[in-house]
Every structure is written in structure tokens, then in C-alpha cells.
Amino acid sequence: MFFSLDAGFAQDSKRKLKVFINYEFMNDIDFGGYDVTGLSSRDLKIPLSYTHFLGKKNPNFDEDTAWGLKFKVDINFGKYKFKGNTDEDIRARADVDAISLMPGIELIIPVRRYWSLRPFVKGGFGWGNVTEQSPDIDVSSPNSYAYETGIKNMFFWDWRAFKFRFANTLSTGGNGTFDGAQEDFFAKFKNGIDVRHPH
């Protein structure tokens, strides 16, 4: 997230200031946040999904043993606080509450007994509401779009009563505003593992 000054002044002589939020990066954080110079973030994701299998699953295994489609919608909430200087060396502060919706779809391709590939695509929108701002500065947060496409490599294995999942993902994505003032493009490689113990 960063500040950008618009040219000119508003009618009440307040400088116009835009706060750009990276909604594609916001969608990467499940729960938590980060603190960097002049910026703090607190994020929460609510993931919703439904999987429709296109073939018959092996009843002896819980994980993917048939082709399928996984439909997803990520609902993201964020609170952002920014303090710093603009390009014209003006001290500025803004607090923004943000929300985004990122629907997507994955194709589940079983390769082996505990291995599947998952190409995916997702895209959505983000909105920001300025709750606090510096005096004499008119701050806004423009509506934005975000997208990502890539492929996920998923492995499963069991050990005693535990179930392990390991995945790595190669993807590209982007984020931009509808007015064309800001555009970003990313390439990412991610690794992750989780452990589950069924009751």
C-alpha cells in the first residue's frame, strides 16, 4: 500500500491523495499481518469452497483419487495504517478498512495415488474505506481488481493417525485500479505443509 498525490487541489484547498492497496497480496494472507516502515496490516481470510468430482473416487482414500473441479470464494478483510511522506515530502497518515472478494476455480488432476496437479485461475475486486486521515488532506482508496493464475503440485501421505499435505505453487498475478493509475504484476513460488489429525 502506498500514497500517490493527484495533480491540483480540491475546491476546499485540500490536497487529493490516493491510497493503493495490493488486493492480490492481501489474498495470500489467511490470518495475521505485517509491519514494515510506515505501514501496518491486519488481515483475515474466510475461504469457502465446494469440490465436484468428475469421476468415481477410490473409497479407501480420503484425498483426491478422481478428476474434479474445486470452486472457491475467498472473502478477505484488512485494516491498514500508513504513516509517511508523499512524493512532495508532505507528512501524511491514513487508516483504511478494506474488503475483497476473490472467486476462483481449480481443476484436480490425479497423477498417482497420493499426488495431484491443480491448475487454477481466480480473479476479483477490492474496496477500501478511509476511516482516519491527516488534517487538510483529502484521502481516497480507489476500487481495484486482482487476479492470479498458476498450477499447484499437491502431495498427500498418512502416518499413523495423522494426515500430511505438502504443496508448492507457481503462479503469476496482478493488481490494478479501474482508473488505470496503478498496476502491478507478480510472479510467485510458494511452498506449504499442513498436518491434520482426524477425530
| Model pLDDT, residue 87 | 61
Catalogue the E-assigned strands of 37-90.
39-53, 68-85
Q: How far apart are CA 138 and CA 12, in angstroms?
A: 9
Kindly state the cell numbers that stand for 14: 485540500
Check: pTM over 0.75? Answer yes or no. Answer: yes
Three-class secondary structure of residue 97 per DSSP:
strand
What is the DSSP code (8-state) at residue 22? -
| Model pLDDT, residue 11 | 41
Domain limits for position 174: 2-196
What is the DSSP code (8-state) at residue 24? H
| Model pLDDT, residue 130 | 87
Torsional sign, CA 144, 23, 187, 48? negative
* Residue-level pLDDT, tens digit, the chain, 199 residues: 554 434 333 344 567 778 888 888 888 888 887 777 777 888 999 999 999 888 776 655 556 678 899 999 999 999 988 877 666 666 778 888 999 999 999 999 998 888 899 999 999 999 988 888 877 677 788 899 999 999 999 998 878 888 888 999 999 999 998 888 788 888 999 998 888 877 6
Looking at the structure of the chain, the number of domains it has is 1
